Structure formats: C-alpha cells, structure tokens
Chain A
C-alpha cells in the first residue's frame, strides 16, 4: 500500500508548476487565484456604470448650458401666457 504522497514525487513544468491540485504550493495558488477572480468580478460589477448610452446622452444634454437657457425661455413663455389668460 502506498504511503502518504509527498510533493517531491510530482514534477511539473511551465504554468502547472505553480497552479496544480497536487502539491501544496500549487493548491494554495489555485485557491488564491479563485479568490482573486471572485474579488475582481465583484469589483467589476460594483464599478461598472448602471446608466445606458441613451440615458448618458440625455443626462449630458440636460446638464448642458443650451438646455438650461431653453428651460428658462420656456418657463418665461409659460408665465407670460398665464398672465395673459388671467387678464
């Protein structure tokens, strides 16, 4: 019956030397890589913008100077019309 496996009996090359499920270092690196991947995914979903391109364009337009001037003009026009209707 084989005894407990030791790290010395495994010989890996390339990336498998650092990421495998047989030796202690390989297992540790796989675990850390998994946790890192999950953390990156969470970060990506938290930081990505929730607004669509159409909403972004609308928000850019509504915050522009032109829009604010047009808004003021319209409110003045409405005020004049109300005054006229009262008279």
Chain B
C-alpha cells in the first residue's frame, strides 16, 4: 500500500528509457498553432481564453513588463494544462517534481531581479529598506528583506509542488478507502465516494488556481522590478 501510494510520483520510464520529456512536451500538442484568420472552434476558444488572461494579467505592466507577455502566457498555459492532465487516472504529473518547479521558478525570479538591478539599480537597492524605518532597526530590516527576497523562488516552487502532490495523495488515499469500504459498509463507501467526487472537483480548481498564482507572482515580481 505504501509503495503504491508514492509510485505515481516516480519518473516514468518505458523499456528503460525515461519518457518524462515526452510527457512534459505533450501539452503543447493540445494547443495547435492558428493557421487561418478564422480558425476552428478549438483554436478560437483557446485564443479567446489566452486574450482574456493576457489582458487581465498584463494590465498592470508598463512597456518593459509587457515584453514578458509571451513568457507569462506560456507559463500559465503550460502549468495549467500539465496540472489538468495529471488529474487523469494513472497519469504522471511533472509539476509534482520539485526539481521541475525549481527549474521554472529560479530562472524566472532571477530574470526579474537581474532586470530590476540592471535598469533601476537605485530603486532595487532601496527596496531592501522600507520607507520610514527607525534608525536602530535598519540593519535588521535590511537582512530580513534580503532573506525574504531570496526565499521567493523557493516559496514559488514548493507552493506548486506541495499543492499538487497533496491533492494527488488525497485522491489516492480516499479512492483506496472507498474501495476498501465497499466490502465492509456500502453506505460508508458511498459517503466516501461523494467526498472523492467533491475532492476531484476541488483538485480541478486547484490545478488552475495554482497555475494562475505561480504566473501572477512572477508577474508581480516583474512589476516590482520594471
């Protein structure tokens, strides 16, 4: 039982070859490139959704920040589609791997910070000290603000990993409990099944929300530095 619980989080391989690269690349197949002025229904809906999201997300940015539009939209589409595909039974979710999320979070965060230091050095350095700080508290606050800046990519990655992993684990556990309870008490198994349905609906929402939160936070870090 213990081995089965965490088996779905192991990197999959087929005949000894790792297929995680194929799994990571698969969501791009679901977003075909528009090839006509007026496209089919799938592409039209996708375009409409992307426009809606990008308008809302890029409203706060200036000219410089909007150069990141493609990056941010690709990020939210990738994380959202990967999380949703992971809710299919027996599938592997790449965003449960901390290595993958750190690989997304650290370069994006570092990019925003380096952009800030490069183009607005004075403002970026001044951000480490909140305005109006009393004199005796200045060194401590500078250290605290530095630590909080360095924690940001870790928090980004761990938030996504923990949310998706916890959801998948809960689904496994409650699904296993439902199956085990069928032979013991059908009523209890039915109640557990209702809980499983509600949890699955919640996990659909969490999958999309976590993609939005990840991208929104990167967008906010960019806004602070442009």
**Which A positions have Cβ atoms within 8 angstroms of B?**
5, 21-22, 24-25, 27-28, 30-32, 34-35, 37-38
**Which B positions have Cβ atoms within 8 angstroms of A?**
122-123, 125-126, 128-135, 138-139, 142-143
Which DSSP category, helix, strand, loop or mixed, fits chain B's interface? helix
* Complex contact B126–A28 (CB within 8 A): yes
* Complex contact B125–A28 (CB within 8 A): yes
- Can you sample 7 A-B contacts with CB below 8 Å? A21-B129, A21-B135, A27-B131, A28-B126, A31-B142, A34-B142, A34-B143
- Tell me the complex Cα distance, A11–B135, Å: 17
Neighbouring B residues of A34 by C-beta, 8 Å? 138-139, 142-143
5 extra interchain contacts, Cβ-Cβ under 8 A, other than A27-B126, A27-B131?
Answer: A5-B131, A21-B135, A22-B131, A24-B126, A28-B126
Choose among B122, B123, B125, B138 the residue that contacts A21 (Cβ–Cβ < 8 A).
B138
Choose among A5, A27, A37, A38 the residue that contacts B129 (Cβ–Cβ < 8 A).
A27
Instruction: Please list the 6 inter-chain residue pairs (A to B) with the smallest Cβ-Cβ separation, ordered nearest first.
Output: A27-B126, A21-B133, A34-B142, A27-B129, A28-B125, A31-B128
- Tell me the complex Cα distance, A43–B142, Å: 20
* Complex contact B132–A22 (CB within 8 A): yes
